[in-house]
Structure 1
Amino acid sequence: MVLSRFVSSVTPSATLEFNKKALELARSGEDVVKFTAGEPDFPTPRPIVDAAIKALNEGKTKYTNAAGIDELRKAIALKLQKENNMTYSPEEIVVANGGKQAIYNVLKALLNVGDEVIIISPAWVSYEAQILLCGGVPVIVQADVERDFIPEIGEIESSITDKTKAIMINSPNNPTGAIYPESFLGELADLCIKEDLFVISDEVYEKLVFDASHLSIASMNGMKERSAVINAFSKTYAMTGWRVGYSATSTKLAREISKIQSHLTSNVNTMAQYAP
């Protein structure tokens, strides 16, 4: 039997493989300090746990809208407005099974076979794998330590071809910790408008910034309609195992993302949606 070439082109997540080994060592009594999965070392805050228990006790255990419950999508839209100066309606928010699925949903909705997606390296391992799983082609642009891992706009521009569909950015960055300054994001926004490129902006580490303010490229002029903002509750609220993330996009793209999710998972775990 010949298996899918898309699946054969990727390997399991190295992060999760190392994390599995670390957990095995810890269970055997070893004193382990994990530098594997991006996971806070404190438990999920009690009010979040209590909210999920309350939802269970109230019988909130049935299917929900594939895009997520209205209460959560309204709260996310309010958060984006108050904290990020971005206006999204609840209909433009799709709640996903973590930031990881939110990214995959966007890629699946965007890519045709052979479409290229630029990735700034060093990068999280799943970007390349997800692009390949969707039939796309990852194009790597290196960001050097000498420039604090801020890529050169010229190098990004020279990587663009007639097959380039999108660029993936991650700020604050995993694994480098780099925070892209407003000047770089402005230049990138201008380039994307000029070349008609879409931006997938992974902002899951937004709150783990201690000496700078977070800025989303989607808040810049002309960028909302050509951006997908990805975020999750995993890192900020120590909810890695709850698997609740989201994408914020145009209404048109949100409909397609919701359609994909309706066939893959139906909806995110119902009681978990009432917890954040």
Structure 2
Amino acid sequence: MHIQLKGRKAVVTGSTAGIGRAIAEGLARAGAAVVINGRTQERVDVALGQMRALLPEADITGVVADVSTQEGCAGLIARVPSADILINNAGTARLNNFFKQHDSEWLDLFQLNVMSGVRTARHYLPKMMERGWGRVVFISSESALNIPKDMIDYGVTKTAMLAVSRGLAELVAGTGVTVNAVLPGPTDSEILSNWMKSTAHDKGISQAEAEQQFLQTMRPTTLIKRFATTEEVANMVVYVSSEQASATTGAALRVDGGVLRSIA
């Protein structure tokens, strides 16, 4: 299968590192004009420099915007008023104690993980529908279905993303636009990798050993017995962003290494 996205413009939120960065690179390799996004000028400039060096023929631009806020989303939209492909990847996770959390922590996480995607989809989807072609992908998580007790707020936001993506797929039915969610499992992304490095340092073990301990204690049902790479997640996203995936919509597509013990 040869995926060709030449002539398509893609916006990838939260894409200066990790899964978002890998998705942006994958889309650019397939020929799409890609807009990366990050919260600071430094992060965006570094990512742009690295990606342009890696893919000198690609059309890659960057927008600094904090998409966890209305103002940030408006700034992104002002810079990029139209897109054929929208990847709602911006998000974060943090370990916490449910009983000690403040309301503000829940609300802040919901603004970033959920409302950023709501706001961008609300803007870009109508124009996709007018053109009769478009792709929207929400980067959820297997934690949407396998709620972690030390990150209940995170699990809730990822479940909410599934509801938003399915609802939007219903809303745009028959227009030529598809909306899907992708559910990564434990992945060697920036956030989780840094956590594993810190854990390894504290325990005096290697990062590989820390990752195996995490899988054995937190995700023992993994079938691949390792963390996925960001590129493996990006491969799924690039596919559902393509013409070849035109009959895939309203789906929750797992790249979880078999963590979820379900056949549906």
**TM-score, normalisation: structure 1:** 0.39
Determine which structure has greater relative contact order: mean sequence separation of CA pairs < 8 Å that are 6+ residues apart, divided by chain length. 1
Larger radius of gyration between Structure 1 and Structure 2: 1
**TM-score, normalisation: structure 2:** 0.40
